[in-house]
Amino acid sequence: MKTREDKIFQFTGHIIMIILSACALIPLVLLVISSFTDNNTLIRNGYSFLPEKISFYAYEYIFTSGNSVIRAYGISILLTALGTCFSLVITTMLAYTISKRYLPGKGMLTFLVFFTMLFNGGLVPTYMNYTHTFGLKNTFWGLLIPGLLMNGFNVLLMKSYFVTGVPDEILEAAYIDGASEFKSFYKVALPLAKPVVATIGLFSGIAYWNDWQNGYIYLTKRTDLYSIQNLLNRMIQNIQFLTQNATNITNANVGLASIPSVSVRMAMAVVGILPVIIIYPLVQNNFVKGITLGGVKG
Amino acid sequence: MSNTVTAAGTMEKRKKRLTQFKKCIPLYFMALPGIAYLFINNYMPLPGLVLAFKKFNARKGIFGSDWAGLSNFKYLFATQDAWIITRNTILYNIAFIVLNTVSAIAVAVILAELTSKVKKFYQSAILLPFLVSAVIISYLVFAFLSTENGFINNSILKPLGIEGISWYTEKKYWPFILVLVNTWKTIGYNCIIYLSTIVGFDKGYYESASIDGASKWQQIKKITIPLLKPTIIMLVLMYIGRIFYSDFGLFYQVPQNSGALYSVTNTIDTYVYRGLLELGDITMSSAAGLYQSVVGFILVLSANLVVRKLDKENALF
């Protein structure tokens, strides 16, 4: 049935996609290989796909010398877990409320959510608000709260899912059985909205794991609260940072000379991206669904 | 008689509304944390916008500082910076819109036509960069461009006998580097919406076209692209609405905040950031911020107005 033309199309299509896939993955491959390359080889030959000498020293160094990497990792995990949970709780509850047709003041509440998508004060007033009014500077809250906890877009996405995906009759039945508003929300509506909850949770989790701006802006002194992204950011600017934060400060000067600086940077980046790579195959379908869902509405 | 009826009617209505309201109290409580967050994160900062019209004095605070009228804006627009950041923000966005749209459609068309199961792998591969943080992207770019150790200088230029390039101080390459990095990062994301739209098209069109002897290329040109047109227009308009905003991570992290490159990497977002946190020039920074907020707002509204004219379904409001 297949014509010659079809075959040519399929063939060129595969070629183009193989090239694009390779382009997408090659930088990450270079990163991983560099992290396993001997530091002196790296300095002599530069980053290369076929290193002369392989070494695991960079990883050994990360996990033995000082606790700053492991600590930052812990902060990132805590931040992502807490952030995603809080974000899901407040997003779903607000979305559920404004999905109720009979709610007095529904229009006003929806507008409050919607307006945040059209206009925002920008960095300066936000920074002033969080530092001067709330004193979030140099606290863990500075990582968790600004900007990331909830956004209007996710609320409206979820609201439209509640409106279309959770039939009134089912909730009606729950009320007749004597369920309270809250109970019917989390026993009936929420399970029905599982796909969109999973998607928003995923987006939120990735946003928290990848965020570096909050730490960069709000953590000026408390470098012990750095997430892995902030540590990485600091590292690329300044390799000495790792020694300064090492547990054995007395050996800092000795340590600096022996730090496999170039390969350590790359190993840390690998460690930083690892969780994303691990969960990616598991969540990919949800992710794609989420993008499509969002694309329809905006 | 009729008066008493309406009076009774309004009484009834008011009573009904009150019971309705009472019934909804648990719902209001559920909305409370979310609304409180929006209040803190989005509404409380808004009065701070007046800073753009003030001579900021840290001791006097935002509202105690003296008024400066429009002089902050006068200073801002008298500098070269205002022009440069506006130009960079808009030109980069235009390049992104054109390139992202064309590449995303091309990839979506190819993926939709491929019959083999490998296409799932292709899609996963090109989407992966979207999940990489800006900091790590800056590491990846550094591995290629580092002057001493970079892959390009050491493994490509050196064997060719070409002198290594000091990438992080040479302005002329950066418009291309940034556009390339942006495409690398977003192509997988951008093609998903187009792909899902194409998958939804009626197969009948294609069947009758191939019975009539239309080639693959003709089918793409005469069926797929015209059917995609509404989606393309929507997405491009949405993007145009955001043309005054830039990806801070891309413009700040990827060039590693290199001062030599500012004239081609500085956008409104990076300018506001540097003014506030690196230079301590809060008044300039807040003036540029308000400029972005207001023009951005107008653009979002106009883009949406056009979308609504074309297709009510897709409009935000």
Taking only the tens place, the pLDDT of each residue in A145-179 is 999 999 999 999 899 889 888 888 888 888 888 88
| Secondary structure of residue B160 in the 3-state scheme | coil
Give per-residue pLDDT as tens, A212-248. 999 999 998 888 899 999 988 888 776 545 545 544 4
User: Would the pLDDT of A208 be above 70?
Assistant: yes
Are B8 and B128 members of one domain?
no
Whether residue B303 sits in one domain with residue B236: yes
CATH no. for residue B129? 1.10.3720.10
Q: Do A20 and B126 touch (CB under 8 A)?
A: yes
B75 and B123 co-located in one domain: yes
Q: What is the DSSP letter of A54?
A: B
Specify whether B289 is located in the same domain as B234: yes
Q: Do B212 and B287 share a domain, yes or no?
A: yes
Mean pLDDT of A132-137: 92
Q: Is B166 left (phi over 0), alpha (psi -120 to 50) or beta?
A: beta
pLDDT in tens, B135-194: 999 999 998 998 888 899 988 898 898 888 889 889 999 999 999 999 999 999 999 989
- Whether the predicted pLDDT of A284 surpasses 90: no
User: Is there a contact between A109 and B289 if contact means CB atoms under 8 Å apart?
Assistant: no
Subunit contact A16:B128, Cβ cutoff 8 A: no
What are the backbone angles phi and psi of residue B66, rounded to the nearest 5°? -75, 150
Report the chain B residue with the minimal C-alpha distance to residue A230: B135
Count of CB atoms situated within 10 Å of the CB of B79: 11
Q: Are B27 and A100 in contact (CB under 8 A)?
A: yes
Q: Where are the beta strands (DSSP E) in B58-216?
A: 66-67
Counted domains in chain B: 2
Does B130 share its domain with B211? Answer: yes
**What residues of chain A, 62 to 81, have a C-beta less than 8 Å from chain B?**
none
Please give, rounded to a whole number of angstroms, the shortest distance from the CA of B33 to a CA of chain A. 6
User: Among residues 27-86 of chain B, which lie with CB inside 8 Å of chain A?
Assistant: 27-28, 30-31, 33-35, 37-38, 40-49, 51, 61-62
Looking at residue A139, its pLDDT comes to 95
Shortest CB distance from A125 goes to which of B20, B49, B187? B49
For A117-129, what is the mean pLDDT? 91
The answer, yes or no, to whether residue A86 has pLDDT greater than 70, is yes
- Does residue B95 sit within a domain? yes
Q: Which residue has the higher pLDDT, A234 or B289?
A: B289
How many Cβ atoms from other residues are within 10 Å of residue B279's Cβ?
12
Q: Which of A178-192, A207-221, A255-269 has the lowest mean pLDDT?
A: A255-269
Q: Is residue B301 part of a domain?
A: yes
Instruction: Note the pLDDT of residue B99.
Output: 95
For residue B33, CA distances in Å to A5, A127, B30, B40, B138 come to 59, 21, 7, 10, 36
Q: Say what the pLDDT of residue A45 is.
A: 83
In chain A, what residues touch B51 (CB-CB under 8 Å)? 124-125, 128
The predicted pLDDT at position B5 comes to 61
Write down the domain spans for chain A.
Answer: 66-259
B52, B65 contact by CB (below 8 A): no
Which among B195, B211, B25 has a CA at the least distance from the CA of B113? B195
**Record: contact B34-A125, CB cut-off 8 A:** no
Once rounded to an integer, what is the mean pLDDT over residues B292-297? Answer: 93
Domain that holds residue B108: 71-136+171-314
Summarize the confidence of residues B50-76 as an average pLDDT: 85
Of B160, B143, B141, B148, the residue nearest A48 (C-alpha): B143
Domain identity same for B23 and B118: no
Beta bridge pairs of residue B54: B67
More confident residue, A238 or A292: A292
Give the 3-state DSSP-derived string for A227-240, with helices as H, strands as E and coil as C: CHHHHHHHHHHCCH
Closest residue in A to B195 (Cα–Cα): A292
Question: Using 50, 70 and 90 to split pLDDT, how confident is the model at B70?
Answer: confident
pLDDT reading at B59 higher than 70:
yes
User: What percentage of chain A has pLDDT greater than the value 70?
Assistant: 89
Instruction: Using an 8 Å CB-CB cutoff, list chain A residues near B135.
Output: 212, 229, 232-233, 236, 272
Mean of pLDDT values over B279-289:
88
Give me the pLDDT at residue A67, please: 65
CB contact under 8 A, A46 and B269: no
pLDDT of residue B1: 47
A266 close contact with B: CB closer than 8 A? yes
Same domain, B26 and B94: no
- Phi, psi for residue B32 in degrees, rounded to 5: -55, -50
Q: What is the pLDDT of residue A129?
A: 93
pLDDT value for A79: 97
Cα end-to-end distance, chain B, whole Å: 44
Query: Which residues in chain B touch residue A217, judged by CB atoms under 8 angstroms apart?
Result: 273, 277
> Which 3 state secondary structure label does DSSP give B199?
helix
CATH numeric code, A66-259: 1.10.3720.10
pLDDT band at residue B288 under the 50/70/90 scheme: very high
Check residue A298 and give its pLDDT. Answer: 38
**B203-231 per-position pLDDT tens digit:** 899 889 988 888 888 899 999 999 998 88
Q: At what angle do helices B174-199 and B225-241 cross, to 10 degrees?
A: 130
Q: Which of residues 240-259 of A touch B (CB under 8 A)?
A: none
pLDDT band at A97 (very low <50, low <70, confident <90, very high): very high
**Is residue A101 predicted with pLDDT exceeding 90?**
no
Q: Of residues A49 and A247, which shows the higher confidence score?
A: A49
CA distance B32 to B29: 5
Same domain, B286 and B245: yes
Q: Quick one: pLDDT at residue A237?
A: 74
